[in-house]
Structure 1
Amino acid sequence: MAKSKKKPNKKPPKKSTMSSNQSSKWIFWVIGIFSVCVLGLIFLGNFSGKEKEQEQEAAINYENQPYLGEESAPVQIVEFGDYKCPVCKDFNESFFPQIEKELIETGKVKFYFMNDPFINVDSERSALFAEAVYQELGNDAFWKFHERLYEKQPEDVKYEKVDLYTPSFLESTLKEIASEGEVSKVVKAFEENNAKNALDQDLSYVEKLGVTGTPTLFINGKQFEGRTFDDFKEMVKKAAKEKSGDE
């Protein structure tokens, strides 16, 4: 009887312990590197976000700008406005009094006004005249004139209509809060275009911060996008905490 051919007794090759260990180490390092990369991206994202916010704050130079409030107030608010804008008039008659009473007079904020005269030549003319008032007569006179301009804005103002805010109108408005001599100084500065650099500076902030309409508000360099006064107060409170480092 024929014998069946015996198959050689071959043992399966033994896996190298070193190769197994190397594979485990390789997987460990891949996972580790991936985790570090993810954490790095998160860190960089947060850092970039904070850096962007810091750059935005640094974009506003508050020196030589008219303001209301105490010098030591921790929060700085900027309103970008147009004297011919009816929404700005409404803001100054309804929203601003709440800011003044609860935040400015209590020493919590400093409130600045910057020009964004986007409607037409009346807007630019009134902005230049108001800047001349600030330069020649100082902060208090500026805010009195500022308030009068909004009070005297026609109720039925039309954006396309010009020559409402004429030099004679602006001069007569200033006469309501200033002496003849003071008015003459401002008119001279206005006619010599001495306030152009100040207005140009405001417009540079409009461009840097991406202001697209008026009124637009910034709280410590961050744009307010809420809807209510409670939203506004909450953002001010948060800004004060961030300023003090109490996150």
Structure 2
Amino acid sequence: MSNSEQPSKPASRNAAVDTSNAGTNPFKSPLVWATVLVVGVGSAVGGYVIGFREGEEKATAIHASAAGSADGSAAGSAEAARGGANEGRFEGIARREAGDPYALGEVDAPVVISEFSDFECPYCAKYSVETAPEIVKEYVDKGVVRIEFNDFPAQGPKSLTGARAGRAAAEQGKFFEFAQALHEEAYARGGHPDFEMEDYVAAAQKAGVADLEKFKADAASDKFDAAIDADRSKGMAAGVNGTPAFVIGNQLVAGAQPFDVFKDAIEQELAKAES
């Protein structure tokens, strides 16, 4: 996509779509961009909840256990994972900006998934590895769904640094490559990433970020904080209070849900778009 492109009428889900200019698809790799390492949480669905007390973020891990099937899928209905009341709160969430460095898929896709994520969130990783590749294969690659990444740092200073580092890489056109390199390192560690600045610099180098000194300076500065806070505020206004969370059309999906939950929501929104 070029910066001169303008959104047009959403494409039919059955139409042939040329995705050659839709940007790098990080899901072609075994490790994906939106979050960090795999966490062995079995059949559980979870997320991180953010709270505010005298202006300071305090994250609390929550683990919503449920009896899963033998293949590790979470129990419970799709309805329990989604919220669609007060649909007006979702207006303006999707950006649909041509050339968006944080978006994957066609700018005029009928359905946008607005993802709210944190590089330090292990439940985000569960979604990224188990669910996101299926969404990309079944919907994004066919031009009917677009995924837009939003920062939602929920675990204190290290989460904020991660968000800054991602934006520093995006400044040099390497957001997806940087995130993929970061995920590979997190996966190799086999636990909560707990990244430091040197890890971000190493990931940037692996990703091919050209000016590492500029990257390091940008990642250590507060120049992106207003944009990061805007993402988080946008999410909170939509009812997001933890990561990962996803606004799919007029529905909110919370937590590392299995693919079928996303599929149900996406199919409903596609049906609305086609009616």
Name the CA shift for 1:177/1:194 in 2 (closer, same or farther; >3 Å): same
8 A Cα contact 1:65 1:112, kept in partner: no
1:137 maps to which residue?
Answer: 172
1:124 maps to which residue?
Answer: 160
Matches of 1:65 and 1:202, distance apart in 2:
14
2:116 maps to which residue?
Answer: 80
What SS does structure 2 have at the residue aligned with 1:240? helix
Deviations for 1:60-100, whole angstroms, at most 9, x for unmatched residues?
Answer: 54545611112221110022111111111121111111111
Q: State whether structure 2 residue 200 is matched by structure 1 residue 170.
A: yes
Deviations for 1:122-157, whole angstroms, at most 9, x for unmatched residues?
Answer: 1111111101212x123xx21121222233224232
Aligned runs of 1:40-119 on 2, under 5 Å? 52-63=86-97, 64=100, 66-119=102-155
8 A Cα contact 1:79 1:217, kept in partner: yes
8 A Cα contact 1:116 1:203, kept in partner: yes
Of 259, 263, 275, which residue of structure 2 is paired with 1:233? 263
Unmatched runs of 5 consecutive residues or more in structure 2: 1-83
Give the count of matched residue pairs. Answer: 187
Matches of 1:84 and 1:51, distance apart in 2:
29
Q: Which amino acid aligns with 2:192?
A: V
Matches of 1:51 and 1:121, distance apart in 2:
33
Matches of 1:51 and 1:217, distance apart in 2:
15
Which structure would you say has the larger Rg? 1
TM value normalised by structure 2: 0.61
Unmatched runs of 5 consecutive residues or more in structure 1: 1-49, 159-163
What SS does structure 1 have at the residue aligned with 2:213? helix
Q: Which amino acid aligns with 1:157?
A: H
8 A Cα contact 1:60 1:221, kept in partner: no
Name the CA shift for 1:239/1:155 in 2 (closer, same or farther; >3 Å): same
Instruction: Determine which structure has the larger helix proportion and give its number.
Output: 1
Of 185, 190, 206, which residue of structure 2 is paired with 1:155? 190
Instruction: Determine which structure has the larger strand proportion and give its number.
Output: 2
Name the CA shift for 1:170/1:142 in 2 (closer, same or farther; >3 Å): same
1:25 maps to which residue?
Answer: none
Matches of 1:66 and 1:241, distance apart in 2:
26
Deviations for 1:150-194, whole angstroms, at most 9, x for unmatched residues?
Answer: 332242328xxxxx3222211111100114x33233223223422
1:189 maps to which residue?
Answer: 218
Aligned-pair RMSD on alpha carbons?
2.4
2:235 maps to which residue?
Answer: 206
